[in-house]
A and B are shown apart, each in its own frame.
Chain A
Amino acid sequence: MIAPVPDEILTDSKEVLFRHIRFSLLHDGQPQSLAFVPLPKDKNFLSVDRGSMMTPRESYGLFTDNGFDCARVYGISVGEFADEKIICRSDPLPSSDAMPRANPAHAVADFSPHTTSQQKLIAKRLKRRALSRGCLYIAV
């Protein structure tokens, strides 16, 4: 595997980026649209994993090994983010006390050009895209 370059803009529009959905953000198997926008604490950067570097199952395993809960993995492509004027960048994460496993496939989608109100509408469109692609991995 080629080591990812930090802060490199992702340009392959077909590359699918994985988004983890927590149990609390699912109702009857349907993910919440706000799961597809950054939390306030994330300062407009949505965390994703790169599909060119790992499978959905591997992404799930790494995420949960680092102590996070995850019910499902969905995918949104770099091109679909770009359609919403959202740029994606590589953001490999080293291991740390809080995160025992390094994540070289980590990336971020930059929502900073959009207001909170706009992000809510974008979240709905991104969720629809993710649902139309189908769930990529489900916790068993």
Chain B
Amino acid sequence: MIYSVEMALAALRKAYELASEAPPALRPVSARAVSFPNLALPPAGEGSNASEFRDTLTKIERRLAEDVDRWLAQMVDIRLAMTRSTREIFALNPAWPPLDRAPLDKIISQYDAGDKARERVIRSLENEIARIPPDVAVRSVGDVEFFRASVIRVIGLLEKEKNARLQLCDFFSGLRDEAARVRAPVEIVQGVNIEGYKALLMDNARRCIQRIAEIAALPEGWHEGAISKIGIRAIEIAYELVAKRPDLTGLFYIYPTFSGGIVFEFEIGGWDLSVEIASAGGIELYGVKANDEEVLEPLSFFDLGPSLMKHINDRTGAGRDLN
């Protein structure tokens, strides 16, 4: 197999780096470093007005809300990516060295530390409400109320982000435990965990078949009313591809096309490839090389025969273990 435990851990580390990266407005780790008076609020008194003061608060809130939205979206992506890649990697080959839990534990503890820092920030902001900062207290009653309401909304955003981070941390802890469990001794043939491999292939094939069934069920006009129903021939060939290349099923992302066909997208061997099946059954293979300008211009095929498979294998090395 092309994967290794090291790659899995590298992927996890990368995910955690992303996970622990604070949005710009929250970057300080010290609770005292984050408070509204430090965010360049306009001073009260001559030369300042309520509009400027409130605009500044609104801009801060808006920027934070955008950061939190982005961060929550990326957490969902991290979970999906880890489910797809890391579990497969850990399950496949017990011949690899024993799983070293230390790096995972270290990452998780760093993550916990990040959450504690956020907790301090939230407490600090709550204090801001309890005792309005002096440079805000001298403003009008309306401004003070505006400030108080703004801080409450900011705390809500931070709580939302913190809770999502905690859930992600639980997910990673579960993944670590699962990784240890699936690496228990099992039958090994030529270095491969046969039972684990078979179960994995079945899971992956089931995932693909389920997805093709979803696509087949799309109604006429499924996209803004302009797209025809997916062709029966395209559906048949899609099922055939899953049966023919079980080794790739874990990598397939499957979608309907706007011309009533189905496309399999997958990345392997440095290539980002697509096998696009037209509504009536014609097949195209095309792709781009990741981190390179090399491309594979669309090639046409009548069926999923050896010619198409050779083109895939030549570029990816996929399937060698099975051939």
Do B295 and A121 touch across chains, with their CB atoms under 8 A apart?
Answer: yes
Indicate with 1 or 0, residue by residue over B65-80, a CB within 8 angstroms of chain A CB atoms: 1100110111011001
Do B272 and A29 touch across chains, with their CB atoms under 8 A apart?
Answer: no
Residues from chain A with a CB closer than 8 A to the CB of B263 are 32, 34
Q: Please tell me which one of the listed residues B18, B84, B256, B287 contacts residue A28 in the complex, with CB atoms under 8 A apart.
A: B84
Q: Please tell me which one of the listed residues A28, A33, A39, A137 contacts residue B73 in the complex, with CB atoms under 8 A apart.
A: A137
Number of interface residues of A (CB under 8 A): 31
Do A120 and B286 touch across chains, with their CB atoms under 8 A apart?
Answer: yes
Residues from chain B with a CB closer than 8 A to the CB of A24 are 218, 222-223, 255-256
Residues from chain B with a CB closer than 8 A to the CB of A134 are 18, 70, 73-74, 77
Residues from chain B with a CB closer than 8 A to the CB of A29 are 76-77, 80
Indicate with 1 or 0, residue by residue over B251-288, a CB within 8 angstroms of chain A CB atoms: 00111111100010100000010101000000000111
Do B287 and A124 touch across chains, with their CB atoms under 8 A apart?
Answer: yes
Binding site for A on B (CB under 8 A): 18, 62, 65-66, 69-70, 72-74, 76-77, 80, 84, 207, 211, 218, 222-224, 226-227, 253-259, 263, 265, 272, 274, 276, 286-288, 290, 295, 297-298
Q: How far is the CB of B153 from chain A (nearest CB, A)?
A: 14
Do A55 and B287 touch across chains, with their CB atoms under 8 A apart?
Answer: no
Task: Tell me whether chain B's interface is mostly helix, strand or loop, or mixed.
Answer: mixed
Do A135 and B274 touch across chains, with their CB atoms under 8 A apart?
Answer: no
Binding site for B on A (CB under 8 A): 22, 24-25, 27-30, 32-34, 39-41, 55-57, 68, 72-73, 117, 120-121, 124-125, 128, 134-138, 140
Do B253 and A56 touch across chains, with their CB atoms under 8 A apart?
Answer: no
Q: How far is the CB of B116 from chain A (nearest CB, A)?
A: 25
Do A32 and B74 touch across chains, with their CB atoms under 8 A apart?
Answer: no
Q: Please tell me which one of the listed residues B77, B223, B265 contacts residue A22 in the complex, with CB atoms under 8 A apart.
A: B223
**Beyond A39-B226, A72-B73, A117-B298, is A27–B255 a contact (Cβ under 8 Å)?**
yes
- The CA-CA distance from A28 to B265 in the complex, in Å, is 12
Residues from chain A with a CB closer than 8 A to the CB of B272 are 124, 128
Residues from chain B with a CB closer than 8 A to the CB of A135 are 70, 73-74, 76-77
Task: Tell me whether chain A's interface is mostly helix, strand or loop, or mixed.
Answer: mixed
Q: How far is the CB of B277 from chain A (nearest CB, A)?
A: 13
- The CA-CA distance from A77 to B130 in the complex, in Å, is 43
Residues from chain B with a CB closer than 8 A to the CB of A125 are 288
Do B73 and A136 touch across chains, with their CB atoms under 8 A apart?
Answer: yes
9 interchain residue pairs of minimum CB distance: A135-B73, A138-B73, A29-B80, A32-B255, A27-B253, A134-B74, A124-B288, A30-B253, A55-B66
Do B65 and A57 touch across chains, with their CB atoms under 8 A apart?
Answer: yes
Most central of A28, A68, A117, A137 by chain B CB within 10 Å: A28
Most central of B72, B77, B218 by chain A CB within 10 Å: B77
- The CA-CA distance from A29 to B76 in the complex, in Å, is 8
